[in-house]
Amino acid sequence: MNLFVSNISHKVKEDELRTLFQGIGEVSSVKIISDKYTGESKGFGFIDMHDDSQALEAIQKLTNTDLGGRKLVVSKARERNSGY
């Protein structure tokens, strides 16, 4: 299941997110989205977890978790609309 994580501190790196989510289950991939011009984090990203039940547990347990001075918001990612 692909998870959307928002309110990520600009100081947080992908390895820190991976470590946090691996406390719940196996993480397939982590991607913090950055501005293509400045390279700075946009404050959101995506976590892919192979096991859906672990992903649902991560949503429940990690929403409002403080990381880098900000409380994370974790939800199931929506499918991208084609053409956008």
pLDDT (tens place) for every residue of the chain, 84 residues total: 999 999 999 999 999 999 999 999 999 999 999 999 999 999 999 999 999 999 999 999 999 999 999 999 999 998 876 555
Helix (H) or strand (E) holding 45: strand 41-49
CB atoms within 10 A of CB 21: 23
User: Which pLDDT score is estimated for 83?
Assistant: 54
Q: Which domains does the chain have, with CATH numbers?
A: 2-76 (3.30.70.330)
> Which segments of 1-84 does DSSP mark as H helices, in order?
14-22, 52-62
Contacts of 59 (CB under 8 A, 6+ apart): 3, 74, 75, 76
User: Which pLDDT score is estimated for 80?
Assistant: 73
